Amino acid sequence: MRRKRAQYFRQYQWSNIFAMIRNNRRDAAICADQAKGMLVVITGATSGIGYTTARKFASQGANLLCINRNQEKSEKLRNEIESEFGVKCDYLIADLSRMADILHVSQELAELSSPIDLIIHNAGVYLTRRELTDDGFEKVFSVHYLSSFIMNYLLLDKLKAQESARVIMVGSEGHRFAVWGLRLDDLNWERRRFSGLKSYGSAKTAQLLSMLIFADKLEGSGVTINTMHPGAVKTETGQENGPLYRWFKRNFFDKTLKSADISAEALYYLGVSKEVDGVTGKFFNLTTLEEPAPPAVDREVAAELWEVTLKMTGLKERKIQAEP
């Protein structure tokens, strides 16, 4: 750990921080191309960024398959999208903090007869107190990282066979909160004092590291994978926290934030625009390319995290059992 801290300390550059500050003031590039006939999978589509993104793609002719937690909200979204835009809006119900649900929807997607043109991993959570899932994983890490990892991993064969697709993970500049990188020996925050910002930063760093390996495995397949920071926008993230946090968020944070429409425009550009054809393994601040923090580009840790994740999720054993 000390060796890594020294390494990262040497790699940090003020120019990258200044670039991030400049990029935070920029608007998203606009894509004028239509998405007619595309099949777009979006997680967490009933509110916030997911909701505005679903409407944006539907307004441009895309069919949707949304993965949400709430049945009633999903029905409402489907009725709204189909009646307003005349496209198909299906949904699957899943709690992306539960391994069984993640595996189930991943299998459903893998067995689709139609190609998936775009996957947007948007579902997220922010917690001020450590919370474990039913499977014993720290919840922020599970929702932000494990769910997208498992889905991407189990869809590799389908996406490669299609020879064309895009995967976008909604990341965050918040990955920079994990200043000294991941603690691979303590991903569940059992040995350290839990911090909401640091746990969020760790999950987003893990997401970026997994992107590097997925990009390698998808090289030459016609499938790309990228991560984007959605801007400082107002969402419902954090509602699971206590009344003090919710009051502070409502009366202070939310008043400084922008509409989630800018995130939807950025995701549409990254999902459709020919300008990013073949671009993979990159981090965007909205639609501007940006260099992540040093811990998020450490390929040695990325490879270690990959193996740790396969083991902790049981995916390695699952793959072995599936082999003839």
Residue spans of beta strands (DSSP E) within the chain = 39-43, 63-68, 89-93, 118-121, 165-170, 223-229, 283-285, 288-290
Tell me, what's the pLDDT at 255? 36
How far is residue 197's CA from residue 240's CA, in Å, rounded to a whole number?
15
Tell me, what's the pLDDT at 249? 38
CA distances from 55 to 32, 42, 119, 263, 268 (A): 16, 11, 15, 12, 11
Q: Quote the crossing angle between the two packed helices 71-85 and 48-59, to the nearest 10°.
A: 30
Domain ranges of the chain: 29-322
Cβ atoms of 141 and 203 closer than 8 Å: yes
Tell me, what's the pLDDT at 1? 67
Tell me, what's the pLDDT at 26? 86
Tell me, what's the pLDDT at 253? 42
Q: Which residues contact 323 (CB under 8 A, 6 or more apart)?
A: none
Work out the number of other CB atoms within 10 angstroms of the CB of residue 70.
Answer: 14
Tell me, what's the pLDDT at 301? 97
Q: Which residues contact 31 (CB under 8 A, 6 or more apart)?
A: 265, 268, 269, 272, 273, 275
Phi, psi of 123 (to 5 degrees): -55, 140
Digit-by-digit pLDDT tens for the chain (324 residues) are: 667 888 988 899 988 888 888 888 888 999 999 999 999 999 999 999 999 999 999 999 999 999 999 999 999 999 999 999 999 999 999 999 999 999 999 999 999 999 999 999 999 888 889 999 999 999 999 999 999 999 999 999 999 999 999 999 999 999 999 999 999 999 999 999 999 889 999 999 999 999 999 999 999 999 999 999 987 554 455 445 444 434 333 444 443 455 678 899 999 999 999 999 999 999 999 999 999 999 999 999 999 999 999 999 999 766 544 444
How far is residue 152's CA from residue 169's CA, in Å, rounded to a whole number?
10
Phi, psi of 82 (to 5 degrees): -70, -40
CA distances from 155 to 66, 164, 247 (A): 16, 13, 40
Tell me, what's the pLDDT at 264? 94
CA distances from 156 to 35, 59, 203, 240, 304 (A): 23, 29, 21, 33, 20
Q: What is the pTM of this model?
A: 0.90
Torsion of CA 283, 220, 44, 313, to 10 degrees: -100
The CATH number of the domain covering residues in 29-322: 3.40.50.720
Tell me, what's the pLDDT at 232? 57
Tell me, what's the pLDDT at 63? 98
